Amino acid sequence: MGAMWSAIIKGDYRQANLCTHSGGCRDVCPVGIDIPRVLEYIKWRSVSHE
């Protein structure tokens, strides 16, 4: 959640690049957010807007 928060609120996309895509965060998310998919989108947006 920290990487998503940093990207959305602060515009800091660096943490999204640290994701290992293990899916562990998705499995334990209490509201069922597909966090790896969101981080992929954040990374795509950061590259396409440079």
pLDDT of residue 1: 62
Q: Which residues contact 43 (CB under 8 A, 6 or more apart)?
A: 13, 16, 17
Domain count, the chain: 1
Residue 19 domain boundaries? 2-48
CA dist list (Å): 17 to 4, 9, 29, 30, 31: 11, 16, 19, 23, 23
Per-residue pLDDT tens digits of the chain, which is 50 residues long: 688 888 888 888 888 888 888 889 899 999 999 999 998 888 888 777 65
Q: Pseudo-torsion of CA 22, 27, 44, 49, nearest 10°?
A: -130
